[in-house]
Amino acid sequence: MNSMQDRLIDLHTHTTTSDGSFTPAELVALASKLGLSAVAITDHDTISGYPEACKAAENTGVEVIPGLEISTRYHSAVHILGYYVNINNQALLSELSWIVWERDQRNERIRALMREDGLPVDYSGMKTRFGDVVGRPHFARLLVEYGLAVDVRDAFRRYLERGQRYFQARTFLSIERSVEIIALSGGIPVLAHPFQYRLDEPELRELIEYCMQHGLRGIECLYSGYTEEQSLYLKHLASEYGLLVTGGSDFHGSAKPHIQLGCGTGDLAVPYALLEGLKEEQNKKSLKK
Ligand code: AMP
Ligand code: FE
Ligand code: FE
Ligand code: ZN
């Protein structure tokens, strides 16, 4: 058994329930094999992978945390992570089914464009194959299978990015509602990967302060590819604002082959202590009730 200080976790992972390539059970098995103490399942816009992950974790010593990652828009794309959400909360489930419905509308437009080009897409077949949250990554896989791109990234570049033939805009859940609904459903809202948004410091502070007005409680400071300096900078911001520090790899399996579970691009190490911070926050909330 590792000592407390050595115990490592991963608080940002995707499964086949959204756009990852490992099923929830496979992801937990991998976490166990790698000796991770805990993993949070943070699929895009869904919490439905959690029960399977939980079941798979029985007798492994891996702790599974229910989570999700909601895509929102601020000035550009911003992602909000949620930890310890109540997976039976009706308000949360109804927002999430709206997101799936909205994506389905957008996907229908992509399907129509592909059909115009003689590329038939069986959408209900996609739902069966890929699960509820069907998005551009799955259309990318079809395009690869049609031989029109060498891999998912190439399919995005050629067909699915803004400005390309099959790009169709989505409407997103607002950032304030995303933060709020996570908090309302008993969860802890956290700003995901802050350096992905290409904001300067005043803009990043504005984003953090705006999210805090709606209940933000943490910042993802450790992330695949972030340098020690970058993580330290984010930790300073978190401490200045009284926010929790979280960290995770954003593992997607073969959908992002350069990112490994736990260690990210090689040097990521997320200590168990960060999870204890989340748990303390949960305890404080239940005492307040
Ligand atoms: P959607 O919400 O259906 O439009 O799909 C968005 C998802 O596509 C994001 O969560 C990313 O995981 C993935 N994605 C976006 N851009 C790219 C890209 N250039 N290459 C690979 N995956 C991408
Ligand atoms: Fe993704
Ligand atoms: Fe993200
Ligand atoms: Zn993610």
Compute the average pLDDT of residues 19-34: 97
Among all ligands shown, which has an atom nearest to the Cα of 253? Answer: 2
Residue 283 near residue 277 (C-beta atoms within 8 A)? no
Mean pLDDT of the chain: 95
For residue 136 and ligand 1, the question of a CB distance below 6 A is answered with yes
Instruction: With cut-offs at 50, 70 and 90, classify the pLDDT of residue 288.
Output: confident
Can you give the C-alpha Rg of the chain in angstroms?
Answer: 19
* Residue in this structure with the two tokens 């895009």, named with its chain if needed: 44
Provide the CATH topology of domain 8-95+172-288.
TIM Barrel (3.20.20)
Q: Where are the domains of the chain?
A: 8-95+172-288, 105-160
- State the distance from the centre of ligand 2 to the C-alpha of 152, rounded, in angstroms: 12
- pLDDT over 90 at 129, yes or no: yes
Paired tokens of 234: 């984010």
pLDDT in tens, 138-197: 999 999 999 999 999 999 999 999 999 999 999 999 999 999 999 999 999 999 999 999
pLDDT at position 52 is 98
* Cα–Cα distance for residue pair 214/208, rounded to 1 Å: 10
pLDDT in tens, 197-252: 999 999 999 999 999 999 999 999 999 999 999 999 999 999 999 999 999 999 99
pLDDT at position 3 is 60
Higher-confidence position of 134 and 289: 134
Atom of ligand 1 nearest to the CA of 155: 20
pLDDT at position 75 is 87
Instruction: With cut-offs at 50, 70 and 90, classify the pLDDT of residue 289.
Output: low
pLDDT at position 102 is 96
Paired tokens of 30: 């991998």
- pLDDT over 70 at 2, yes or no: no
- pLDDT over 70 at 4, yes or no: no
For residue 156 and ligand 1, the question of a CB distance below 6 A is answered with yes
Instruction: With cut-offs at 50, 70 and 90, classify the pLDDT of residue 286.
Output: confident
Length of the chain, please?
Answer: 289
| pLDDT above 90 as % of the chain | 93
pLDDT in tens, 92-102: 999 999 999 99
Atom of ligand 1 nearest to the CA of 139: 3
For residue 251 and ligand 1, the question of a CB distance below 6 A is answered with no
| Long-range contacts, 106-111 (Cβ 8 Å, 24+) | 106/168, 106/169, 106/170, 107/134, 107/135, 107/139, 109/168, 110/136, 110/139, 110/166, 110/168
The model carries a pTM of: 0.94
- State the distance from the centre of ligand 3 to the C-alpha of 118, rounded, in angstroms: 33
Residue 156 near residue 54 (C-beta atoms within 8 A)? no
